[in-house]
Amino acid sequence: MERDYSHMEFSNNTEIGDSEFQDFERTDVKDMRLEAEAVVNDVLFAVSNMFVSKSLPCSDDVAYINVETRERNRYCLELSEAGLTVVDYAFYHVNDNIQTPYHEIVYSLLDTLSPAY
């Protein structure tokens, strides 16, 4: 089937507006708050309590999750591109002196924190 495109008009304005380009760029950036919510929803069944911290600052590259294990131990976790790590042994706190390993997945972290998990 042949089509005659000779009579169609095309817009000469092919520039993408700044706001459209910024929206496109944002879709490529991870929002760690959304990632943290997904982690919580994925393992909430395996712990006593788990939620994304609303008082600690979340950004595109870091979010904080409070978790209480079935053994009633409380932790504040940091979620970043490096993975998950314990940053304090209480909710809503970050202790820069605590050095714990990063875990790529939340199940690996829970294996080390909670035998009842």
Using CA atoms, how far apart are residues 63 and 58, in angstroms rounded to an integer?
5
Domain-embedded: residue 72: yes
Domain-embedded: residue 35: yes
Closest to 58 in 3D by CA, of 75, 33, 39 = 33
Domain-embedded: residue 39: yes
Give the chain's domain count.
1
For residue 53, what are the domain limits? 30-113
- At 79-94, the pLDDT tens digits run 999 999 999 999 999 9
Domain-embedded: residue 87: yes
Domain-embedded: residue 76: yes
- At 100-115, the pLDDT tens digits run 999 999 999 999 999 9
CATH number at residue 89: 3.30.2280.10
- Whether the full predicted model's pTM is greater than 0.85, yes or no, is no
- What is the band of 117 on the pLDDT scale with cuts at 50, 70, 90? confident
Domain-embedded: residue 16: no
Domain-embedded: residue 22: no
Helices (H), 2-115: 18-26, 32-43, 106-113
